Amino acid sequence: MCNEFSGSTICLGRQSGSAKTLTELLSGNDLCLLRGDRCLFQRLNFALNCGELLFVEGVNGSGKTSLLRGIAGLLDFESGYITWDGQKILDAYQGFRSDLVWLSHRVGFKGELNLLENLQFESALRSCSMEKTAAVIERLSLAPLTSLPFRYLSAGQQRRVALARMLLANARLWIMDEPFTYLDKAGQALVAELISEHLAGGGLCVAASHQAVDIAAPTQRVTLQ
């Protein structure tokens, strides 16, 4: 059965009437996606302003990752389109890409380099100061691990390094695929806190997870079956 949405997704926490006074920064418009002969979803709409979260729920295989990839412009929808700051992302893709950072299952670091070397490389790409890099390492409780080759880190530790890269990116839009995977309860609480802080600072976040986690922010939820 296709996940069919008759209109916009349910919005929790947004003040009544605010959608009329704020410009929608990120929107999905009548999105439809097929996987082979299976319809994952159709007529899916959403609109996010600064400080808001789109939380995509569903079991494995329901299309969560595919939806995120489509929002990021990495996958084509069967129909519908994504806009960023009033423009279709395919019409202004370079600007859109510079405004987003992606957290996926594949962390994408060099296994032979140590943790610090990997993050220094990421910092150089983003012109981050040494002070900011050090602060991010401290915030993610990674300081005792900086000299270890990345391949020796546990899955949870590697996830924290990926989160550190997100903080270094200074991007307005965070797209996070299963951000709580491999993390213990303290790590999951830290991720929720980081998302809340990012939104409080005017950022946006699209997150997909099979876990129900409360984030202190205006939230729209999409549930895929």
pLDDT digits (tens, 9 = 90+) for 113-160: 999 999 999 999 999 999 999 999 999 999 999 999 999 999 999 999
Please tell me the predicted confidence (pLDDT) of residue 80.
98
Alpha-carbon Rg for the chain in angstroms: 18
pTM as predicted: 0.88
Are 72 and 175 contacting, i.e. CB atoms less than 8 angstroms apart? yes
3-state per-residue secondary structure call for the chain: CCEECCCECEEECCCCCHHHHCCCCEEEEEEEEEECCEEEEEEEEEEECCCCEEEEEECCCCCHHHHHHHHCCCCCCCEEEEEECCEEHHHCHHHHHHCEEEECCCCCCCCCCEHHHHHHHHHHHCCCCHHHHHHHHHHCCCHHHCCCEHHHCCHHHHHHHHHHHHHHHCCCEEEEECCCCCCCHHHHHHHHHHHHHHHHCCCEEEEEECCCCCCCCCEEEEEEC
- Our count of domains for the chain comes to 1
Question: Side chain identity at 46, as an amino acid letter?
Answer: F
- Residue 12 belongs to some domain of the structure: no
Q: How far apart are CA 90 and CA 152, in angstroms?
A: 39
Please tell me the predicted confidence (pLDDT) of residue 19.
39
- Residue 6 belongs to some domain of the structure: no
* Mean pLDDT over each residue of the chain, to the nearest integer: 89
- Residue 14 belongs to some domain of the structure: no
**CATH number for 163:** 3.40.50.300
Q: How far apart are CA 42 and CA 204, in angstroms?
A: 23
Name the token pair of 52. Answer: 């808001």
With cut-offs at 50, 70 and 90, classify the pLDDT of residue 23: low
- Residue 5 belongs to some domain of the structure: no
- Residue 119 belongs to some domain of the structure: yes
Residue 17 pLDDT greater than 50, yes or no: no
Question: Side chain identity at 220, as an amino acid letter?
Answer: Q
- Residue 83 belongs to some domain of the structure: yes
Residue 11 pLDDT greater than 90, yes or no: no
With cut-offs at 50, 70 and 90, classify the pLDDT of residue 101: very high
- Residue 16 belongs to some domain of the structure: no
- Residue 137 belongs to some domain of the structure: yes
Closest CA relative to residue 163, chosen from 96, 107, 100? 107
Q: Which domain holds residue 118?
A: 26-223
Please tell me the predicted confidence (pLDDT) of residue 93.
92
